[in-house]
Amino acid sequence: MYETGCKCKEQTRFLKVEADFCADSIWCNNCQSNLDLSRLALSNKLKRELSEWALEFGKWLKLDTDELVSNAKELEDAHNVMGAILCEKVKEELGNSYMVFFTPSSLVRSYSQKLL
Ligand SMILES: [Zn+2]
């Protein structure tokens, strides 16, 4: 196991940027472990941006009633646009040794389906 939290036998080259409740925003795309953002070779500025972005995740969901807010789609879309931008920044900072993918949030879609 690596200090980043990845559980792969060999250090992964595959990462993904994905926001989730109470998690850092970078994951191993191979073993799906949530990685310790502080241990990744990223600038403090980008780490801060990623953390702030992750904290915004799910703002379109009312956790107490488990309902979407009225402009949930807009909020989620904006969050996904920002996530894609941050993913590009992560790629830039980590360089060619990593493949970084972005997984957009689909909370709105899954909640809409649940209501049908
Ligand atoms: Zn891994």
Confidence of residue 116 (pLDDT cuts 50, 70, 90): low
Q: From ligand 1's centre to the CA of 63, what distance in Å?
A: 30
Q: From ligand 1's centre to the CA of 72, what distance in Å?
A: 32
Q: From ligand 1's centre to the CA of 40, what distance in Å?
A: 13
The pLDDT score that the predictor gives to residue 103 is 97
5-28 confidence digits (pLDDT tens): 999 998 889 999 999 998 999 999
The pLDDT score that the predictor gives to residue 10 is 87
Q: From ligand 1's centre to the CA of 45, what distance in Å?
A: 24
Q: From ligand 1's centre to the CA of 55, what distance in Å?
A: 23
String of DSSP letters for 39-68:
GSS--HHHHHHHHHHHHTTTTTEETTTTEE
Say which residue the tokens 């646009």 belong to: 81
From residue 92, alpha-carbon distances to 4, 47, 97 in Å are 19, 13, 11
53-89 confidence digits (pLDDT tens): 999 999 999 989 989 999 999 999 999 999 999 999 9
The pLDDT score that the predictor gives to residue 15 is 97
The three-state (H, E, C) secondary structure of 85-111, written as one string: HHHHHHHHHHHHHCEEEECCCCHHHHH
